[in-house]
Amino acid sequence: MVFLTIANLIRCRGPDEFWRKRKIFRLAAHYIGRRRNCYSVAVRNVHHALVYATKARRLKKQDMKDLWDTRISAACEQHNITAFSMREGLERSNILLDRKSLSDLAAWEPKTFQCLAAVASRKLHLDGFIDGTDQKAPTGKNLNLDNVILDDWLKEKK
Amino acid sequence: MSNSHLFMKSGFVRAPLQNGVGRYVPQLQRIVLKFCKTHGGSRGIRDFIEQDLVEFAKQNPSVVVYLKPRRHRSPVAVAEYLNGDRVWMSLHQKSHSEITKWIEVLRTQQGDVSATRLRKYQFTDHPSIQGPWTPFTFKDPELNVAQLPDPKFGANDRLPMTATDKLRIMFEKQKISEDNVKTGE
Would you write out chain B's pLDDT as a tens digit for each of its 185 residues?
Answer: 667 667 788 899 999 888 989 999 999 999 999 999 999 999 999 999 999 999 999 999 999 999 999 999 999 999 999 999 999 999 999 999 999 999 999 999 999 999 888 999 999 999 999 999 999 999 889 999 999 888 988 888 777 778 888 888 888 888 876 666 777 76
Peptide bond just before A15 cis, omega within 30 deg: no
Under CATH, which architecture does the A63-156 domain have?
Orthogonal Bundle (1.10)
Question: How far is residue A115's CA from residue B39's CA, in Å, rounded to a whole number?
Answer: 68
- pLDDT, residue B27, reads 96
pLDDT per position as a tens digit, A75-134: 998 888 889 999 999 999 999 999 999 999 999 999 999 999 998 988 888 888 877 665
More confident: A6 or A48: A48
Q: If phi over 0 gives left and psi between -120 and 50 gives alpha, with beta otherwise, what is residue A20? A: alpha
Question: How far is residue A100's CA from residue B122's CA, in Å, rounded to a whole number?
Answer: 14
The reply to whether A95 touches chain B by the CB within 8 Å rule is: no
Interface of B with A in 118-157 (CB under 8 A): 127-133, 137-138, 157
Domain that holds residue B79: 8-118
The domain that contains B110 carries what CATH number?
3.40.30.10
In a domain, B137, yes or no: no
CB nearest A132 (choices: B127, B131, B169): B169
Averaged pLDDT for residues A10-34: 90
In a domain, B168, yes or no: no
Give the chain B residue nearest A131 (alpha carbons).
B169
The reply to whether B177 touches chain A by the CB within 8 Å rule is: yes
Q: Which of A59, A71, A111, A113 to mutate to test the interface with B (most CBs of B within 10 A)?
A: A111
B130 contact residues in A (CB cutoff 8 A)? 108-112
Domain boundaries, chain A: 15-60, 63-156
Identify the sign of the CA torsion A92, A105, A107, A98: positive
In a domain, B87, yes or no: yes
Q: How far is A14 from chain B (nearest CA, A)?
A: 29
Domain count, chain B: 1
